């Protein structure tokens, strides 16, 4: 995969690379899906994963190592791989893993996630995982980057060159790759039937169109940004697989707007954070669900109870919900960013879109140089 030159140029339709890259996500997802799925490869999930099937069948554990936004993608991947391939998965900060003398991993797979493939912490984690005997696979956006070269296998994310410091399209591309990896592992390890594998791959193929529909909330996120831009602290809440998206929404806001923000699991509110939330602290709740999935429905119902309670105290809650639920959620939420419904494991890809847009608009309204926020660089090559 060559990162195409056209990604280096700012289209006059957009004011910043970050916005251009947010809107490039349907195309980036399409690129990834096309690479992973060829018509002849309908049952294998991923073309060219470069790890032998015997080893994948004997795997006992997966560890996902990454930094920043890539680690949040890895946290979503933990749910995907555990549910699709029934394998225990741990996710660690690359910067922590390389110093904690981890246990030997003779039947382990270490997945190293990095947009740039040059992050020093993630490279050190790769060397540590190898030293402990794990097989390694890099999920990387830049062809032939050090991480891609040194891992046993590589899965490129095909998002094209990303220029803005804040990762957006590379994040959704990582989620796409992790889902494909989960399906591949599930198929190889026979935790998924051929029929289930096909269904998951069909859902993957529908993803670009759904991302396009999720981008429809652009104007509303701008309106929300206008009313929220002076807040000094935000709380993002997500349950289950949406929790890493709450973390990522908070990180996007912190790095682009310099506003304090935290991401929390929705179910933890009553264990402490509820005390600090008042009308001065806007809350963003992730409330998507797949109505065909009992677990997803149950989680949604529980989160709706919390929404009602928090909103009744006068807290300003904005929500991301599926289009079918927008009306019900709007009874309590100030604004609802509506996204299409999807299988539960793919909803995070849609949930992050309004949060990226919200962070972008708030940053621009506050006068931040959004493509190059202070004190940060695109590639962190020193520890
Ligand atoms: C993302 O918006 C951040 N700029 C940062 O957290 C980044 O994800 C992290 O430094 C890891 O980078 P990588 O994916 O290139 O390894």
- Return the best residue to mutate from 3, 17, 22, 67 for the ligand 1 pocket (most ligand atoms within 8 A of CB): 67
Q: 54-58 — which CB contacts under 8 Å span 24+ positions?
A: 55/109, 55/135, 56/109, 56/184, 56/185, 56/188, 56/189, 57/188, 57/189, 58/107
Give the pLDDT score at 79.
98
DSSP state at residue 151? S
Give the pLDDT score at 5.
41
Fold match, 6-213 / 216-365: yes
Give the pLDDT score at 6.
58
> Whose alpha carbon is nearest atom 2 of ligand 1?
166
Q: Tell which residue, 160, 161, 159, 108, has the closest CA to residue 137.
A: 108
> Whose alpha carbon is nearest atom 5 of ligand 1?
68
Please state, in angstroms and rounded to a whole number, the distance separating the CA atoms of residues 293 and 301. 12
Give the pLDDT score at 34.
86
Ligand 1 centre to CA of 68 (Å) is 5
Give the pLDDT score at 1.
38
> Whose alpha carbon is nearest atom 9 of ligand 1?
68
Cβ contact 46:176 at 8 Å: no
- Return the best residue to mutate from 17, 64, 68 for the ligand 1 pocket (most ligand atoms within 8 A of CB): 68
Within 10 angstroms of residue 204's Cβ, the number of other Cβ atoms is 22
Q: Where do runs of H (alpha helix) occur along the chain?
A: 17-23, 25-36, 53-58, 68-85, 94-97, 120-131, 146-150, 169-188, 194-214, 218-228, 243-257, 294-312, 326-330, 347-365
Query: What are the residues whose beta carbons fall under 8 Å from the beta carbon of 6, sequence distance 6 or more?
Result: none
Give the pLDDT of the chain (383 residues) as one tens digit per residue: 344 445 789 999 999 999 999 999 999 999 988 888 765 555 555 655 667 888 889 999 999 999 999 999 999 999 999 999 999 999 999 999 988 888 878 889 999 999 999 999 999 999 999 999 999 999 999 999 999 999 999 999 999 999 999 999 999 999 999 999 999 999 999 999 999 999 999 999 999 999 999 999 999 999 999 999 999 999 999 999 999 999 999 999 999 999 999 999 999 999 988 888 888 999 999 999 998 999 999 999 999 999 999 999 999 999 999 999 999 999 999 999 999 999 999 999 999 999 999 999 999 999 999 999 888 888 888 78
Q: What is the pTM of this model?
A: 0.95
Query: What are the residues whose beta carbons fall under 8 Å from the beta carbon of 84, sequence distance 6 or more?
Result: 179, 182, 183, 185, 186, 191, 192, 200, 345
Please state, in angstroms and rounded to a whole number, the distance separating the CA atoms of residues 188 and 147. 25
Segments making up each domain of the chain, as ranges: 6-213, 216-365
Please state, in angstroms and rounded to a whole number, the distance separating the CA atoms of residues 238 and 286. 5
Ligand 1 centre to CA of 43 (Å) is 32
**Residues lining ligand 1, Cβ inside 6 A:** 67-70, 114-116, 119, 122, 165-167, 255, 376, 379-380
Give the pLDDT score at 382.
77
Give the pLDDT score at 310.
94
Q: CATH number of the domain at 6-213, out of 2.60.120.260, 1.10.150.20, 1.10.1740.10, 3.40.50.10490?
A: 3.40.50.10490
216-365: CATH number: 3.40.50.10490
From the CA of 67, give the closest atom in ligand 1: 11
> Whose alpha carbon is nearest atom 16 of ligand 1?
114
Ligand 1 centre to CA of 211 (Å) is 22
Give the pLDDT score at 35.
83
């Amino acid at each position: 995969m060559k990162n195409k030159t056209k990604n280096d140029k700012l289209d006059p339709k957009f004011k910043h690379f970050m916005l251009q890259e947010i809107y490039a996500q349907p195309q980036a997802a399409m690129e990834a899906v096309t690479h992973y799925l060829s018509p002849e490869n309908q049952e294998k999930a991923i073309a060219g994963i470069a790890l032998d099937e015997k080893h994948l069948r004997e795997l006992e554990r997966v560890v996902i190592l990454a930094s920043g936004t890539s680690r949040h993608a890895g946290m979503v991947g933990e749910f995907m791989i555990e549910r699709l391939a029934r394998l225990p998965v741990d996710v660690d900060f690359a910067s922590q893993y390389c110093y904690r003398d981890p246990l030997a991993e003779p039947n382990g797979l270490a997945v190293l996630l990095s947009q740039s493939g040059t992050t020093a912490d993630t490279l050190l984690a790769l060397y540590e995982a190898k030293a402990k005997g794990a097989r390694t696979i890099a999920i990387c956006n830049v062809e032939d980057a050090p991480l891609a070269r040194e891992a046993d296998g590589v899965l490129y994310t095909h998002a094209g060159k990303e220029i803005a410091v804040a990762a957006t399209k590379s994040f959704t591309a990582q989620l796409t790759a992790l889902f494909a990896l989960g399906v591949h592992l599930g198929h190889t390890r026979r935790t998924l039937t051929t029929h289930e594998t096909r269904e998951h791959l069909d859902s993957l193929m529908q993803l670009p169109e759904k991302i396009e529909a999720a981008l429809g909330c652009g104007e509303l996120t701008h309106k929300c940004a206008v009313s929220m831009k002076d807040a000094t602290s935000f709380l993002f809440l997500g349950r289950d697989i949406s929790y890493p998206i709450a973390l990522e929404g908070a990180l996007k806001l912190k790095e682009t707007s310099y506003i304090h923000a935290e991401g929390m699991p929705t179910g933890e509110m009553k264990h402490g954070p509820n005390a600090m939330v008042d009308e001065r602290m806007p809350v963003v709740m992730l409330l998507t669900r797949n109505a065909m999935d009992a677990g997803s429905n149950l989680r949604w119902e529980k989160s709706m109870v919390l929404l009602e309670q928090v909103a009744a105290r006068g807290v300003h809650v904005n929500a991301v919900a599926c289009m079918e639920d927008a009306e019900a959620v709007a009874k309590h939420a100030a604004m609802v960013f509506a996204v299409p419904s999807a299988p539960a494991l793919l909803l995070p890809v849609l949930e992050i879109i309004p949060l990226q847009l919200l962070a972008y608009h708030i940053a621009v309204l506050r006068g931040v140089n959004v493509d190059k926020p202070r004190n940060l660089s695109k590639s962190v090559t020193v520890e």
